[in-house]
C-alpha cells in the first residue's frame, strides 16, 4: 500500500516539474538588436553605458521596465531602449513596441540602419526666442540649438526617446556634445531640466 502511494506521489511531482520546465521554456525569449545600441546600467538615458549591442546581435532578456528591456550581453546585464530590439518568443518574431518618454517628436520614422551614431549628448531646454541663428522662427518639436562644429546648421538628428529634430540655432553655452531643445515655455524648460540621450544624424 505504502509502495503504491509513494509511487503515485513521485509521478505527480515529476509531472509538476515537467510542466514547470515546459512553461519556462515557452516564456524564454531572445531579442535581436536592429541597430548598434547602448546597454545601460538602468532603465533610462541618464544611466551609464555598460556595454554595446551590435546590429544583428541576439541576446537573452530577463524582464522590462517601461520602454526599456533588460538584457544580458557580452557578460553584462543592463537595459536597452526597446525600440531597437526585435523579440522572438517560441519561434515567432515581433518588434518590441515603445513610445517617446518625454516631448513628442516631429518624426521618428527613419530606419535605425540609416542613422549615424554621434554619441551620448547632454540635453537642455529653452523657450522664448522669436528668431534663431539660422534666421528661422523656432518651432516646438522641431528646433534645436547645437554646436555647429559637431552638428552643422540644418542637420537633422534623431534623439533617442525624443524624436527627430533640426539644428536651426546655436549659442555661446552650447559647446561639444550638448543640445538645447526648443520648447513651448520657460515652465516646460524648467520641468524637463537636464537629460541625457544618444544622438544619431539622420541627414
CA 149 distance to own-chain centroid: 26
Per-residue pLDDT, 63? 83
Q: Is 198 in a helix, a strand, or coil?
A: strand
Q: How far apart are CA 33 and CA 80, in angstroms?
A: 9
Other C-beta atoms within 10 Å of 114: how many? 12
Per-residue pLDDT, 64? 83
Percent of residues in the chain assigned helix, strand, coil, to nearest 5:
20, 40, 40
| DSSP letter, residue 130 | S
From first to last of its 203 residues, the chain has per-residue pLDDT tens of 555 555 545 545 444 444 444 334 334 478 888 877 888 888 887 788 888 888 788 888 888 888 888 888 888 898 888 888 886 543 444 444 333 334 433 444 444 457 889 999 999 999 988 899 999 999 999 999 999 999 999 999 999 999 999 999 998 889 999 999 999 999 999 999 999 999 999 97
Q: How far apart are CA 189 and CA 179, in angstroms?
A: 13
Which stretches of the chain are DSSP H helices?
2-27, 186-192
Give the pTM: 0.48
Nearest to 34 by CA among 95, 119, 118, 117: 95
Q: How far apart are CA 142 and CA 165, in angstroms?
A: 5
Q: How far apart are CA 46 and CA 183, in angstroms?
A: 20
What phi and psi values does residue 35 have, to the nearest 5 degrees? -160, 165
Amino acid at each position: 500500500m505504502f509502495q503504491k502511494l509513494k509511487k503515485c506521489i513521485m509521478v505527480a511531482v515529476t509531472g509538476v516539474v515537467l510542466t514547470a520546465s515546459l512553461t519556462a521554456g515557452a516564456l524564454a525569449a531572445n531579442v535581436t538588436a536592429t541597430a548598434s545600441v547602448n546597454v545601460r546600467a538602468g532603465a533610462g538615458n541618464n544611466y551609464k553605458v555598460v556595454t554595446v549591442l551590435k546590429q544583428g546581435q541576439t541576446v537573452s532578456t530577463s524582464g522590462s521596465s517601461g520602454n526599456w528591456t533588460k538584457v544580458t550581453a557580452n557578460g553584462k546585464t543592463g537595459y536597452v531602449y526597446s525600440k531597437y530590439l526585435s523579440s522572438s518568443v517560441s519561434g515567432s518574431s515581433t518588434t518590441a513596441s515603445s513610445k517617446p518618454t518625454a516631448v513628442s517628436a516631429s518624426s521618428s520614422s527613419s530606419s535605425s540602419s540609416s542613422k549615424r551614431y554621434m554619441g551620448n549628448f547632454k540635453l537642455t531646454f529653452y523657450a522664448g526666442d522669436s528668431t534663431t541663428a539660422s534666421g528661422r522662427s523656432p518651432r516646438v518639436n522641431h528646433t534645436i540649438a547645437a554646436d555647429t562644429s559637431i552638428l552643422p546648421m540644418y542637420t537633422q538628428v534623431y534623439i533617442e526617446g525624443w524624436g527627430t529634430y533640426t539644428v536651426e540655432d546655436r549659442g555661446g553655452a552650447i559647446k561639444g556634445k550638448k543640445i538645447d531643445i526648443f520648447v513651448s515655455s520657460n515652465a516646460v524648460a524648467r520641468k524637463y531640466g537636464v537629460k541625457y540621450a544618444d544622438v544619431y544624424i539622420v541627414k
